[in-house]
Amino acid sequence: MQRLAIAGEAIAGTTKKLLKTGIVADYLKSRTEDEAAVSAVFLSGRAFPAWEETTMQIGGRALWRIVAELAEKSETDLTESYRRHGDLGAVAGEILPERAGQGVSALEVEAAFRQIAAARGPAAKAALVRDLISRATPLEAKYIIKIMTGDLRIGLKESLVEDAIARAYAATLPQVQRANMLLGDIGQTLRLALEGKLDDAQMRLFHPIGFMLASPIESTEEGLSYFSEAAVEDKYDGIRAQAHVANGEVKFFSRTRDEITESFPELPDALAGLEQDAILDGEIVAWEYPRNIRDTQEVVDEAASGASSDENASEDEKTRADEDKAVNLGRARPFSVLQQRLGRKKVSEKMLREIPVAFLAFDVLYAGGELLMDRPLRERAGILDGLLSERKVIHHRVTETQRNAKQARLVFEDSEPEDDSELEHPEHEENQTRAASVIRVPVFRASSAEELEDLFVAAQARGNEGLMIKDLDSSYTPGKRGKAWLKMKRELATLDVVVTAVEYGHGRRIGVLSDYTFAVWDGDKLVNIGKAYSGLTDVEIAEMTQWFLEHTIPDRNSEAQGFRLQVEPKIVLEVAFNNMMRSDRHESGYALRFPRIVRLRPDKSAEDADTIERAREIFERQAK
């Protein structure tokens, strides 16, 4: 461990990445395979491989006390040293006494970490930590504590350790990255690299892998600037989850790679019927199911199979389904509702009934023995559609579970069935049970900024956060935040503004005045602050067009006539936006990002509109 700590000090001593990876590579090569494997895990700032859920559960306070005790120092001394370093590991390195015979190997440290994790109760854990630290040299203790607190602070990320492994064992970085991604274990990756077998790394089900992340965008134009074909989905406000399915067994993992199946006992059944082993990516949300149980089931199944309507559905349902499937599936409830379901080991029947959830699947990483991450999204999307449509009908499965384990019963009606015979009755199943659903996230297409804005408004009207815009040609890159997935989120605030000028629209909106320039008050003067062209219904736009044509003000700039019309400042709109910036595009000195019309405010007169002071307030609040 002393060697690892010395390497750590050298790594911390340089900011050059190449030097850092060189030091790690040399260190790893100088160790035995076992020691190098454990060290690779430690150097990426972890006590255990990423896929493992093992944690030591030893609090910072307890560590602090142990260090103080072993150093025979007061809390004040420790605080003084902590102020200088801001890192308990460094404090320990400075104040712990050096004694003869100290020294532990990296393998001994690993064994001790596992013992600590397995020990029950804070006292037993603390005794083991005390023993480990007292056996270590002060420098070793410094690194042991850094690893225990999960923060090495030597400017070394796992990606640099991957780089070092590639250098040490003559492999390519992509080979190492891929193996590490599949295994979720940098130590195991190192072993394969050493044996020249990196390409043998296989996907391991029930070992969560990294999640692909999205980058925020600043404008709708930006949303379409990185790729030619975009898949657009609602951005649901829940928690990200990776579902692993094999032979009817289902587990869900969170973004922190923790298993969260226990918190959602109703979800596994919904996926257990998959025809193939699979890993799906999606979002768990609190879900408001349509009133009638049969509606949900039919619409979910129908959406999964891609059919546009169902024979048994009423006319009304058919129309609605065609109009907007995303709404018919039910809708997401706010995150604050889901929050009540998080972090629970036991979920009461009441909770299950009052806060049902759904798993909204939007990607597939693995299915039927094949790793799909390198395939383009357009192919993965097709595979996901197929997988979910082939799955066995959910509520049968739930009922089966109910028969096997009555305690797992998921009955969403007020009165619970009395006995099993009732449960076995098919009609009863359909009428009384509602399986938690796995819903294929509806995918839209957009090829213009205007279409994107319309989708954004529709997503928000469904109560969702915004949009995810995804490159149909992109592969799935775990743990990376790139430009293949873009996110467009909820507004920052809304302003009531007065329309000062209008323009004819484009595309579908040719011939109607649909683009509005609007202003806020600066004293008794209106100053323009933005322009928006979405959010109103066609009927509203038609009515507004009529009104504006009757209330134009002759423009001094005659060339602009017919294109941009100045109008009497009477119409008040509520506009939402995501961001505000300083800009000289408009007189107000500000511009809005993603401005969109939330609604007309016929209840307000122009004098009631917002002021430049309020705009400034919003701008300043956002800067905080």
Q: Which residues are catalytically annotated?
A: 235
Backbone angles phi, psi at 451, to 5 degrees: -60, -40
Please count the CA atoms within 13 angstroms of the CA of 521 that sit on its side-chain side.
Answer: 13
If the CB atoms of residues 95 and 468 are measured against ligand AMP, the closer one turns out to be 468
> To the nearest whole angstrom, how small is the minimum distance from the Cβ of residue 256 to ligand AMP?
12
* Contact in structure between 36 and 28 (CB atoms under 8 Å): yes
> How many secondary structure helices (H) and strands (E) does the chain include?
26, 21
Neighbours of 428 (CB within 10 A): 14
SS3 for 110-165 is HHHHHHHHHCCCHHHHHHHHHHHHHHCCHHHHHHHHHHHCCCCCCCCCHHHHHHHH
For tokens 């260190």, the residue is 27
Options 191, 235, 331, 341; binder of ligand AMP; rule CB under 6 A: 235
If the CB atoms of residues 210 and 589 are measured against ligand AMP, the closer one turns out to be 210
Contact mark string toward ligand AMP, 472..491, x via CB under 6 A: ---------------x----
Question: In this chain, which stretch among 115-123, 231-239, 402-410, 562-570 interacts with ligand AMP, using CB under 6 A?
Answer: 231-239
> To the nearest whole angstrom, how small is the minimum distance from the Cβ of residue 487 to ligand AMP?
5
Number of residues that bind ligand AMP (CB under 6 A): 10
Give the containing element (helix H, strand E) for 485: strand 481-488
> To the nearest whole angstrom, how small is the minimum distance from the Cβ of residue 470 to ligand AMP?
7
If the CB atoms of residues 240 and 378 are measured against ligand AMP, the closer one turns out to be 240
Neighbours of 313 (CB within 10 A): 18
* Structure tokens that stand for 595 in this block: 């401005």
Options 441, 497, 499, 571; binder of ligand AMP; rule CB under 6 A: 441
Binding of residue 444 to ligand AMP (CB under 6 A): no
Contact mark string toward ligand AMP, 272..311, x via CB under 6 A: -----------x----------------------------
Binding of residue 362 to ligand AMP (CB under 6 A): yes
> To the nearest whole angstrom, how small is the minimum distance from the Cβ of residue 440 to ligand AMP?
11
> To the nearest whole angstrom, how small is the minimum distance from the Cβ of residue 240 to ligand AMP?
3
Selection from 439, 246, 177, 402 nearest residue 327 by Cα? 439
Options 11, 68, 321, 468; binder of ligand AMP; rule CB under 6 A: 468
- The Cα 516–Cα 507 span in angstroms is 16
Provide the 3-class DSSP secondary structure of residue 262: helix
Provide the 3-class DSSP secondary structure of residue 576: strand
Strands 493-504 and 230-235, by their bridges, are unpaired
Binding of residue 214 to ligand AMP (CB under 6 A): yes
Binding of residue 233 to ligand AMP (CB under 6 A): yes
Binding of residue 388 to ligand AMP (CB under 6 A): no
> To the nearest whole angstrom, how small is the minimum distance from the Cβ of residue 385 to ligand AMP?
15
If the CB atoms of residues 269 and 283 are measured against ligand AMP, the closer one turns out to be 283
Interface residues with ligand AMP (CB under 6 A) are 214, 233, 235-236, 240, 283, 362, 441, 468, 487
